[in-house]
Amino acid sequence: MTNGTVIVGTGQAGAQTAISLRQSGYKEPVTLVGMEPQIPYERPPLSKKFLDGKIGIEQLLMRSPAFYADKDITIRPNTWVNLVDRKAKLIQCTNNQTIAYNKLVLATGSRAREINCPGVKLPGVHYLRTINDVEGFRDKLVPGLRLVIVGGGFIGLEVAAVAAKRDCTVTVLEMMPLLLQRVVAPEISEFYADVHRAEGVDILTSTNVTAFEGNKKLERVVCDSKKIEADLVIIGIGILPNVELAEQANLEVDNGIVVDECARTSDPNIFAAGECTNHPNSILGERLRLESVPNALAQGKTAALAVLDRPEPYAEVPWFWSDQYDIKLQMTGLSKPGDQVIIRGNVSDRRFSACYLRSGVLVACHSVNAARDFLQSKKLIASHAKPDQALLADSSIALKDI
C-alpha cells in the first residue's frame, strides 16, 4: 500500500476529486484535509436558502458521512496545512502532524477579500464565506434590523434579497457606478437595481466605505461624507485565491496556481483544481481563473483522471447562476468591456437575455428567467457562432434555430 493521494481542501473541487478517484477505480488511500469543521458541502446556498433557513446543514452536504466511510475516504477537518515538502513528498499541518503522499492535489479554494478600514473588527461586522459565517448572523435578520451590505456583487445582492423578504431595512453600498458592473451589461445591472429598490432596498453606488463606528459594537457605517446607522454589516467585496501553499512549495503561481488543461502543476506529482487555479480554456482561447461551482466540479474530475495517469483535457464553456427573489439569472460564456450587447425579450417582463458579441461572435449570454436561451446559447458559444443580429434580437425565434 502506498501513501496514496492527499487532497488539500474540502470544498467542492477537493471533494469531487476524491469522489472521482473512487468512481474511477482508484484503490490507494485517499485523504481530504480541510480547515473547516464540516465535511464537504455546497457553498452557493449559503447566501440563499441556507441563509433564509429553508434548508439545514444536512441539505448542504455533498455526500453523507456514511458515503465517505463506505468509499474509504479519510477526512481530516479543522486541519490547516502550512507546508509542502516536495522532495520528501509530505505535507505539514499546524498541529505539527505530517502526512505523506504519493500524489498531492491542491484544491485550496479562496477566502473572502477583506476590507481595510477602522472599526472592521467591531462586533456586528461580518463576512459570508462559510457555514460558520452564516450561523454567526442569520438569526439576527429580523424585521426592522438595519442591515448595511458592503458590495453590490452577487453575494451582496443575494443577501439583500433574503433580508428584504424578512422586512429588514437594507442598504447596499457599491463603489462602482453600477451593480455587478464587472460581470453584466448595464441593462442587467439597471434591471437588478430596479428590482431591489422595488423591494425596499436602498442602493448607493459610487460609494466608498471609509470606517465602521460604534461603542464596543457596530453602530454606523461611514462612507465618503455620509454616516449610515447600522445594526449589522455584511461585507461581500469578492474573494482571493488561496495560493500561499503553492507559493511556499515553489510551484508556478500567476493569478492562481498555474495548471495545464489536465490540472497538472509544474510538479509532476502535484495537481490543482477549482477556483485557486489558473487554467487554459481551449474553447475561449485564453487562461482563466474561474469562481464557479461547475468549474470546480469539472476540474475535480479532471484532476482525478490525471492522478490516475489517464489525463483528459478539460475545456467547457463557463457558466454561473444567481437566485434573487423570484428571479433566476443564468450566465454562460465570458463577456468583456467593449462587447456589443443585444437584448432578447422585454426587460419589463422579467424574462430576457443579454447576448454579447465580439467581432460578431457570440461570446456570452446572460439570461433572466429565460432558461431556454441559457441552454441553447452554450452550444452557440462553444461553436464560435456568428448569429444574424436581427434574428438574435427576436426572442420569438429560438437560439437553436438562428
What cell was used for 254?
500567476
Q: What's the chain's average pLDDT? A: 97
Q: Are strands 30-33 and 73-76 parallel, antiparallel or unpaired?
A: parallel
* Domains of the chain with CATH codes: 5-111+240-307 (3.50.50.60), 116-235 (3.50.50.60), 326-401 (3.30.390.30)
Q: Give the bridge partners for 355, in sequence order.
A: 342, 365
Alpha carbon distance 182, 178 (integer Å): 9
**Averaged over 96-122, what is the pLDDT?**
97
Alpha carbon distance 385, 391 (integer Å): 13
Give pLDDT, residue 308.
Answer: 98
H-assigned helices in 225-336: 244-248, 293-307
**Averaged over 300-329, what is the pLDDT?**
97
Give pLDDT, residue 1.
Answer: 55
**Averaged over 344-369, what is the pLDDT?**
97
Alpha carbon distance 163, 369 (integer Å): 22
In 3D space, the residue among 249, 14, 235 whose CA is nearest the CA of residue 110 turns out to be 14
Q: What is the pLDDT of residues 57-81, one digit of tens each?
A: 999 999 999 999 999 999 999 999 9
